[in-house]
A and B are shown apart, each in its own frame.
Chain A
């Protein structure tokens, strides 16, 4: 599974964020930060993705969407919560239509703080996620005995 470590594909979903973190996630892909030099590609297809980046908190209406995206991704997979809203609900935690952080519905592996999360922090988070991805694929190999 070495190839995964070298070029993980990410899927980005906007839970109920204010856009601040979304545009920073996109900014990571563009020339100044350029995560594509590590082989990281932003894909729109959950079945191609290894890492799920979620910005913003979850609410009643998007919980099924988030769960479905996660289920469609192939194993091994890692979830990263980007920004404080995805971590805990942030400034909107008290709103009536906010359930809370992404970890209420999905197992989150990496939390990236910030409002909005800075591109450097997001890249750092993705790199952490890579190590976890590697770990997870090792475990999977042990289980299947290959």
Chain B
């Protein structure tokens, strides 16, 4: 038994692109307890519903987070559409699904890069982000934006993708698929990478459920929780099964995310085959009155939107429960008993998105 030391971690830390602060209570090199302190990015954007009307708020919702920007916009629009009982055109649903799955790919590849950076494999980080640029190019070509697109709107989507471009996307994805296979081999088979991720930060199935973990964090521990199975947008017409692993360590979480990237490629290809012709937007009249809870699956897991309208242009309340918020308790649990050197990797394997968490 050594002496207890408290090591402050963050808010500015080389492996963290975003500020979060943890007080790590250590006994020699072992972490006994981790106490989080958040609030460096808290903006209070849920309060903005009082100043921006429900249509303008779409742009705010997209800026909850710059990585899963499209999904936030989509989740918010779906909530308002449910309240106002708007049925959006089929084509818009498929387009949303395509952009959502592309977002998942870009988010997971970005995460793979950051993970590589966290265990000091710089060239792997560079390779991952090089592949990711091809997906950003698709975004730019189809929406005009690289990270924030503003393409989702209440009642549908603002831009259409032509059949030619859809075929082109499939071509690019085939190329990406090839490059990714080579890249992910390293994450899954390289001895030095495995030595950093295998058996590190194990979260049992029971603990994952009890702590309310969501997304790849829960899936890697064997909890089947994937909101896409509920068939929102066009997911009801696509064939897929949630990706589950049982080991619950960092390696399993990496594996789940890697498999999800390839699943996304498959889903986009299915969408391109099935997408119907037609309108992409319906006209929206009136103001929302009523309330609704929407659950969708983001790259980081289940997200919950709640909106309550009172019949005026301004909503009474809009609330987001983001996946990282739900995963923080599970992170604190896995940190207990790990060694100080593994802390950055453990923080990264929940794929933290602090700006989502604090809003």
Contacts and interface: CB of A to CB of B under 8 A. Distances in A.
Contacts of A50: none
A138 B252 CA distance: 54
B341 to A, nearest CB: 16
A12 B64 CA distance: 20
A23 B66 contact: yes
Interface residues of B, number: 41
Given A32-B133, A59-B42, A96-B44, A20 B148 contact: yes
11 contacts: A13-B19, A14-B17, A18-B63, A19-B65, A30-B130, A31-B126, A31-B130, A44-B15, A62-B19, A65-B40, A69-B12
Contacts of B145: 116
Given A62-B19, A116-B146, A16 B126 contact: no
Interface in B71-120: 110, 113
Contacts of A23: 17, 66-67, 110, 147
Interface of A: 12-24, 26-27, 30-32, 43-46, 56-57, 59, 61-62, 65, 69, 91-92, 94-98, 115-116, 118
Classify the interface of chain A: helix, strand, loop or mixed: loop
Given A24-B147, A44-B13, A91-B59, A16 B66 contact: no
Given A61-B40, A62-B40, A97-B43, A20 B11 contact: no
Nearest to A11: B12
Contact of B67 (A19, A31, A45, A98): A19
B43 A118 contact: no
Contact of B47 (A56, A57, A91, A95): A95
Most buried by B among A19, A57, A97: A19
Contacts of B147: 20, 23-24, 116
Contacts of A97: 42-44
B55 to A, nearest CB: 14
Contacts of A30: 113, 125-126, 129-130, 133
Given A16-B43, A16-B355, A32-B130, A94 B51 contact: yes
B353 interface: yes
A61 B42 CA distance: 9
B66 A19 contact: yes
B274 interface: no
Given A31-B127, A56-B41, 19 more contacts: A13-B19, A16-B43, A18-B63, A20-B66, A22-B18, A23-B67, A27-B129, A30-B126, A30-B129, A30-B133, A59-B42, A65-B19, A94-B48, A95-B43, A96-B47, A97-B42, A98-B43, A116-B66, A116-B146
B45 A14 contact: no
A59 B43 contact: yes
A15 B19 CA distance: 8
Contacts, number: 117
B39 interface: yes
A14 B15 CA distance: 13
B14 interface: yes
B60 interface: yes
A52 to B, nearest CB: 11
B65 A13 contact: no
A118 B43 CA distance: 23
A13 B12 contact: yes
Contact of A115 (B41, B48, B148): B148
Contacts of A56: 41
A95 B48 contact: yes
Contacts of A19: 17-18, 65-67, 353, 355
A32 B14 CA distance: 22
Contacts of A16: 40-43, 355
Contacts of B42: 16, 59, 61, 97
